[in-house]
Structure 1
Amino acid sequence: MRQLLPSSMALLWGLQFAFLTPALALMLVDLFGATPADVGWVLALYNGGGFLASLIIPALADRKRDYLRPMLFCGVLALALPGVLALTSSLPLAVVALLVLGGPAGVGMSLFFAHLKQSGAGSQDVVTMRAIVSFAWVAGPPLATVIIGSFGSQAILLALAAVALLNLVTTGIAFRRNITLPGSGAGPASGTDDGPLASKLAVIGVVIAFTILQATDSSAVTIMALFVDQKMDGQLIWAGIALGVAAALEIPALLAIGRLSRSIPEKKLIASGCIAGVLYYAGMTFAADPIALLSLQILHAWFFGVIAGVGLTLFQKVIPRPGLAAGLFTNTRRIGAIASGPIIAFGSMTALGYQGVFGICAVLTLAAMVVIELTSRSSKASAAKEQIPAASQS
């Protein structure tokens, strides 16, 4: 049970939003008659609400050092959301439900990883759980598409409710038995965890760097179909295949990263991911056929695996407040998605067209690696200065 339960929780929380996210726009149109403009502002409000919730709820959980109880609250909201959406045909009411229920419900995943950290989970444990979430995102969107295509948009609401109910059951079992991740240590951490918040410079540097990395990945994924249409005579199927290959390779990449984290420092793993990202984007700048496109997805998988897996553990190390660390890391993805707009706009105006976007992403990834390196050096220098006065007083 102690081995199965955390894995089940990671899978179910991953499925909850692997079902909802890709199907949301379609549901808004089919069930509520939303126009394309409506879809745009509704998704903006929904993501904005999720942004605020992922900062506020984990911060409150940090104060009480309790993450399972707020996870139960998120599970209740996740169960209520499809119920409300199924009972109304009003777009304004659906928007309210997405803001009040959907935004806070999405924090459950951040709280799950905060609970792992508080339980004493090591880097390999966290990365392994992240690999399970990735599996949910590989399986979830196609399964949601099959459900909608076979039974209609209403059916996905039933699937969401079923997953939410299972989430409540597994989280409730963990809460009652206080089950923690096996091999993670003696039990829940106490006191202030790893100490006070790291220097503001370190936190700001890491947040900026990973926002840049997330923005480049979001840009690359967003323009993939347009890039393939431009360079490969409209053979759009290769865009879907490429993204699918990258997502499938992400799982073994994360498992490998988890094992390597035992012997290789996080800083070196992150550097390897950034280098893979630079090579991927540089290669995509000149890719012109499906073979090159698919071959480069190996680098893409390693790059994103490092961002998703090692990035989360780095945040938890730099910010010793598990909820805040997970919340900030989650929001680098949201902010990165917003920042991808200007990257795409600027890159596509170059002489290379959509390939120019990949070129800019290569430069930005290199810049993010430099920021992480400078931040690391600054943090070490600050720590050394703090130790000198302490040594002189003793």
Structure 2
Amino acid sequence: MKSQTTVLFCTNGLTALAFALILPVMTLYLVNGLNVEPGLIGVYTVITSGMTVLFSQKITGFIDKGVSAKLLVVLSLCGIVAASAGFALSRNFWHVLIVGCVIMPLASSSIPVILTIIRRYADSTGKSSTKLNSQMRSSVSLLWVVGPPIAFFSVDRLGFRSNFYLSAFVALMVILLVLFQLKEPQAPTHDKDAANKPKAPALPKEVWFLGAIMLMANMSNSIYVTSMPLFLTRDMGLSTAYPGMLLGMTAAVEIPVMLLAASWSQKFGKLPMMRLGYVFGMLFYVGMFFTDHLVICIALQLLNGLFFGIFVGLGVTIMQDYAPKTIGKASAFYTNSMLVGTMLGTSAMGVISQYFGFKAPLVLSFVVLFLAMLGAWWFERYTERRPAFTEQHS
């Protein structure tokens, strides 16, 4: 591969594929494979996500201090291989919990490290970070078109163990790609200077507020993603292959939406586009709650694709824009806010499902996303009152 853009596109996408073979099936693995009560899903998610947040924030901080980003990517990809093998060999809830606490934090740190490399590549080549991030995130959606369907089909036909080994194989392929094709990203001048300082600059308060908004939006999405396979298979009596089909269709819609989100944001603004995406998401959750027909569920994935395509297509760029001197920290903070949202959403889903059924959590998805939309509206008003700051980061 002569183009580093192509290398980054493949690295980002195939890493997402490795995760797409693990994450969507974890609730089914715990409930159906290991016969764990739904409430313990929250225990697993809280502990593993908490460890991941702490670890990834540290490892991406090393990038801002001058540690090789390529080396950190390889190490984190080795974590994916080890975690996949660990899940395949697990025989009870405590085995899964140990793998999730000890190995998955290293594996999950691959995401913010790759995001940092992508931003540095954009800055060093003069490319639009918004457009490049959208293009790279489209590689994630492209692989999520096939990843979840493969995962659920593999589980349905071959079992959970084969599916986890497949994820390990994909991660090994990415390690080879990074070792032989990825060039070390060029660090900006201010990053090189920061390496000689005892501490990197603190994240601006705007980034913290944006993190809270991203957290709530991803919390609503994670509630749906983790409950949907269960209410399709348990409540509606459908085959295990159908949840993967719905996730794949959503990802197929996300791809053009993310590619268009960059140009839409230039015309209408990033924050207004984000709020519009949240509206699509709320309409989607209402539709999913009130239907029991597979055909309608399939049609509603258009709204879900619009919501999540806009959300992830613009989210990391908005976060990085407000922390130009600490891009590594901002990338990790974005990922960690998403992880905490996943942690809270999955935990809430497990508790609610145990007492009210697997569809009831969709009500919470709607409420949390509505709060995220209000937060985005307030933040937009806040930045409008600071015109100089807005102009600097628009």
Normalised by the size of structure 1, how large is the TM-score?
0.76
SS in 1 for 2:189: coil
SS in 1 for 2:103: helix
Query: 205-214 or 320-329: which moved more?
Result: 320-329
Aligned to 2:47: 45
Aligned to 1:209: 213
Aligned to 2:36: 36
- Alignment check: 8 A CA contact 2:27 2:226 kept: no
Whose relative contact order is higher, 1 or 2, with alpha carbons under 8 Å and at least 6 apart? 2
Counterparts of 2:365 and 2:158 in 1: how far apart (Å)? 40
Aligned to 1:218: 222
CA 1:381–1:330 in 2, change beyond 3 Å: closer, same or farther? same
Aligned to 1:75: 77
1:136 equivalent to 2:143? Answer: yes
- Alignment check: 8 A CA contact 1:348 1:357 kept: no
Tell me the alpha carbon deviations over residues 363-384 of structure 1, each in whole angstroms, 9 at most, x when there is no partner.
4433322212322333454564
Counterparts of 1:146 and 1:87 in 2: how far apart (Å)? 20
Letter in 1 for 2:131: Q
Counterparts of 1:362 and 1:293 in 2: how far apart (Å)? 16
Which of 22, 25, 29 in structure 2 is aligned with 1:20? 22
Query: 357-366 or 43-52: which moved more?
Result: 357-366
CA 1:91–1:19 in 2, change beyond 3 Å: closer, same or farther? same
- Alignment check: 8 A CA contact 2:227 2:349 kept: no
SS in 2 for 1:297: helix
Letter in 1 for 2:179: G
CA 1:206–1:79 in 2, change beyond 3 Å: closer, same or farther? same
CA 1:125–1:99 in 2, change beyond 3 Å: closer, same or farther? same
Counterparts of 2:146 and 2:95 in 1: how far apart (Å)? 30
- Alignment check: 8 A CA contact 1:280 1:297 kept: yes
Letter in 2 for 1:113: L
Which of 318, 324, 328 in structure 2 is aligned with 1:323? 328
Letter in 1 for 2:328: G
CA 1:144–1:243 in 2, change beyond 3 Å: closer, same or farther? closer
CA 1:15–1:221 in 2, change beyond 3 Å: closer, same or farther? closer
Normalised by the size of structure 2, how large is the TM-score?
0.76
* Structure with greater Cα Rg: 1
Which of 117, 120, 132 in structure 2 is aligned with 1:118? 120
CA 1:90–1:223 in 2, change beyond 3 Å: closer, same or farther? closer
SS in 1 for 2:190: coil
Give the deviation of 1:141 after TM superposition. Answer: 2.8
Aligned to 1:333: 338
Tell me the alpha carbon deviations over residues 188-240 of structure 1, each in whole angstroms, 9 at most, x when there is no partner.
432149x965631x22321121211112222233444676799xx93646766
Letter in 2 for 1:199: P
- Alignment check: 8 A CA contact 2:57 2:332 kept: yes
CA 1:213–1:344 in 2, change beyond 3 Å: closer, same or farther? farther
Give the number of aligned pairs: 372
Tell me the C-alpha RMSD between the 2 structures. 4.1
- Alignment check: 8 A CA contact 2:49 2:343 kept: no
Counterparts of 2:12 and 2:165 in 1: how far apart (Å)? 20
Counterparts of 2:303 and 2:82 in 1: how far apart (Å)? 40
Q: Gaps (5+ residues) in structure 1?
A: 181-186, 388-394
Aligned to 1:199: 204
Tell me the alpha carbon deviations over residues 36-87 of structure 1, each in whole angstroms, 9 at most, x when there is no partner.
1697455553333222222221122222264222112212333344566678
Give the deviation of 1:273 after TM superposition. Answer: 0.8
CA 1:46–1:225 in 2, change beyond 3 Å: closer, same or farther? closer
- Alignment check: 8 A CA contact 1:115 1:322 kept: no
Query: 70-79 or 290-299: which moved more?
Result: 290-299
Counterparts of 2:81 and 2:229 in 1: how far apart (Å)? 34
SS in 2 for 1:64: coil
SS in 2 for 1:50: helix
Aligned to 2:6: 4
Give the deviation of 1:117 after TM superposition. Answer: 0.9
Letter in 1 for 2:307: F
- Alignment check: 8 A CA contact 1:74 1:106 kept: yes
Identity rate of aligned residues, in percent?
Answer: 23
- Alignment check: 8 A CA contact 2:133 2:317 kept: yes
Counterparts of 1:339 and 1:91 in 2: how far apart (Å)? 19
Matches within 5 A, 1:215-364: 215-224=219-228, 234=236, 236=238, 242-284=246-288, 286-287=290-291, 289-290=293-294, 292-320=296-324, 321-340=326-345, 341-342=347-348, 358=362, 361-364=365-368
Give the deviation of 1:319 after TM superposition. Answer: 2.9
Letter in 1 for 2:342: A
- Alignment check: 8 A CA contact 1:128 1:258 kept: no
CA 1:267–1:375 in 2, change beyond 3 Å: closer, same or farther? same
Give the deviation of 1:174 after TM superposition. Answer: 4.6
Q: Gaps (5+ residues) in structure 2?
A: 193-199
CA 1:334–1:80 in 2, change beyond 3 Å: closer, same or farther? closer
Tell me the alpha carbon deviations over residues 342-376 of structure 1, each in whole angstroms, 9 at most, x when there is no partner.
488779999xx988755554444333222123223
